Structure 1
Amino acid sequence: MQNLQSLSQLLADWQAFADKIMPLIERLGLERLGECDHAALRVNSVAAAEKLKAEFAQCGEIISENIINGRPILIIRLQQPLLLGQWQIPCVELPFPGDKHYPEEGWEHLELVLPRGAQSCDELAEQLRTLCPRTQATLDGDTDIKLKASSPKGEAERLANPTLAFKAGGVCVKVHPHSIQAIIASEQ
Structure 2
Amino acid sequence: MPAIPKKVKNILDEQWLIFSKKIQQLEKELSLSALSLECDHAAIRVNSTLLADQFRAFLELRGTVISENIINGRPILIFKLTQPLILNGKEVPCIELPYPNDKIYPEEGWEHVEFVVPSHAKSCDQLTEDVLSVIPQLAPHINGQTGVKVKLSSPCGEHERLANPTIALKKDNICIKLHPHSIQDIILSESSEI
TM over 0.5: yes
SS of the residue 1:91 aligns to:
strand
What is the deviation of 1:85? 1.7
Equivalent of 1:10 in 5, 9, 12: 12
1:179 and 2:182 are equivalent in the alignment? yes
In structure 1, what is the equivalent of residue 113 of structure 2?
110
- 1:113·1:175 contact (CA, 8 Å) conserved in 2? yes
Residue 124 (structure 2) aligns with: 121
Distance (whole Å) between structure 1 residues aligned to residue 181 and residue 113 of structure 2: 14
| Matching residue of 1:64 | 67
Q: Secondary structure at the match of 1:58?
A: helix
1:115-155 Cα distance to aligned partner (Å, 9 max, x none): 12111111111122121122110111111100000000000
Counterpart contact for 2:11–2:110, Cα < 8 Å: no
Runs of 5+ unmatched residues, structure 2: 1-5
Q: CA separation in 2, counterparts of 1:93 and 1:167?
A: 18
The aligned residue for residue 50 of structure 1 is 53
C-alpha separation in 2, matches of 1:23 and 1:128: 20
Counterpart of 2:72, as a letter, is N
Out of 29, 41, 44, the residue aligned to residue 41 of structure 1 is 44
Superposition misfits of 4+ residues, deviation over 6 angstroms: none
For residues 19 and 123 of structure 2, the distance between their equivalents in structure 1, rounded to whole angstroms, comes to 29
In structure 2, distance between residues paired with 1:65 and 1:145: 31
Alignment size in residue pairs? 185
Read off the aligned partner of 2:173 and give its amino acid letter. G
Counterparts of residues 139-158 of structure 1 (less than 5 Å): 139-158=142-161
Q: Give the superposition deviation at 1:8.
A: 5.1
Secondary structure of the residue that 2:18 maps to in structure 1? Answer: helix
* RMSD, aligned CA: 1.2
Aligned residue type for 2:115: L
Q: What is the one-letter code of the residue matched to 1:172? A: C
Give 2:60's aligned amino acid. A
AA of the residue aligned to 1:17 = F
| 2:28 matched residue in structure 1 | 26
Q: Provide the rounded CA distance (Å) in 2 between the counterparts of 1:158 and 1:33.
A: 27
Aligned CA distance change for structure 1 residues 86 and 133 (closer, same or farther; 3 Å): farther
Matched, 1:94 2:94: no
Which residue does the alignment assign to 2:170? 167
Distance in 1 between the 2:11 and 2:70 partners?
Answer: 27
AA aligned opposite 1:5: K
For residues 155-179 of structure 1, what are the alpha-carbon distances to aligned partners after superposition, in whole Å with 9 as ceiling and x for unaligned? 0000000000000011100000010
Aligned position for 1:136: 139
